[in-house]
Amino acid sequence: MKPSLLIADFSGMYEAEGFLQELREREVPFRLVRLGDIEGTCCYCDPEAEAEISRRLEPRPEELVRWIDSGDYHYVTKILAAREQEPFTLVLVDNHPDDQAPAFGGVLSCGSWVKELREACPMLAEVWPLGPDHRIRNSAGTIDRELEEGIDDLLEALDGKRVYLSIDKDVLRREESRTDWSQGTYSLDTLKGWLDRLLRLNLAAVDICGGLSPAKGAAPEDLRVNRNTDVELQDWILTCLER
């Protein structure tokens, strides 16, 4: 099955960047779902908003690649991954662990969604963060290895497992990604090297967030940098999935 894209549009960021126009010109199939009219979604997502987002983002089997707007909406991963009907491991490429207790009880957030996914989804077996502090840890905290040049440790642990891969571009250095969250120091080439191997696994889906909208202060240069990275990343993901 040829993979296609689901694009969740909360902020208008992808249109402002020119990313959607690039996809159209390249004839990359995608389904754009506009969500900006739903109240109570930026960083925090109340139960009514979560239910409406879930309704609109009903996934299709071919939509293996999901773009879910800026890091303010990374909680959408919880909404999508919680639908999985087979056991899976979450691999989180992010500059933050996103596993904090919610600041407001019962309200999903971009900083608590991993914790809430663990609690809500019986199909989730493990969580492997890849990025914070340049380390790999499992959900039990029993493995803590310094990352050097490769990810052989992680690949060995994931062998034979079904993987949901979630990427926040705040893991990248500012030369290649502009966000309004604290950022990591990884290059896009390093991330592509990881994806070249991670996307060979038994993949449930991959989603990508991170960026900056005009409403959050994105300047033309920020939009240009993010568009170029989004296009290169999207091309690379499809190349890896189609080989």
Read off the pLDDT of residues 141-198 as tens digits, 9 standing for 90 and up.
656 565 655 788 889 889 999 999 999 999 999 999 999 889 998 999 999 999 999 9
Q: What integer pLDDT is reported at residue 135 of this predicted model? A: 64
pLDDT averaged over every residue in the chain:
91
- Mean pLDDT is lowest, of 95-99, 119-123, 129-133, for 129-133
Confidence of residue 98 (pLDDT cuts 50, 70, 90): confident
What backbone phi and psi angles, to 5 degrees, belong to 209?
Answer: -135, 180
- Correct CATH for 5-242 of 3.90.25.10, 3.40.800.10, 1.10.10.10, 3.40.47.10: 3.40.800.10
Tell me the pLDDT tens digit for each residue of 15-53. 999 999 999 999 999 999 999 999 999 999 999 999 999
Q: Of the ranges 85-94, 101-110, 131-140, which one carries the lowest mean pLDDT score?
A: 131-140
Comparing 104 with 95, which gets the higher pLDDT?
95
Q: Is the pLDDT of residue 110 over 90?
A: yes
pLDDT above 90 (res 134) = no
The average pLDDT across 69-94 equals 95
DSSP string across the chain: ----EEEEESSSHHHHHTHHHHHHHTT--EEEEE-TTSSS-SSEE-HHHHHHHHHHT---TT--EEE--SGGGTTHHHHHHTT--S-EEEEEE-SS---PPPSSTT-EETTTHHHHHHHH-TTEEEEEEESGGGEEE-TTS--EEE--S--HHHHHHHTT-EEEEEEEGGGB-TTT---SS----B-HHHHHHHHHHHTTSEEEEEEEE----GGGT--HHHHHHHHHHHHHHHHHHHHHHH-
What percent of the chain is predicted at pLDDT more than 90?
Answer: 74
Return the pLDDT at 139.
62
CA distance 169 to 184: 9
Asked if pLDDT for residue 66 goes beyond 90, the answer is yes
145 compared with 80, residue with greater pLDDT = 80
pLDDT for residue 144: 57
Q: What is the mean pLDDT of residues 118-126?
A: 94
Report the pLDDT value the prediction gives residue 34, as an integer from 0 to 100: 98
Across residues 50-79, what is the average pLDDT?
Answer: 94
How much is the pLDDT for 147?
60
Instruction: Give me 204's structure tokens.
Output: 């449930």
The number of angstroms, rounded, from the C-alpha of 26 to the middle of its chain's C-alpha atoms is 22
Residue 133 is predicted with a pLDDT of 60
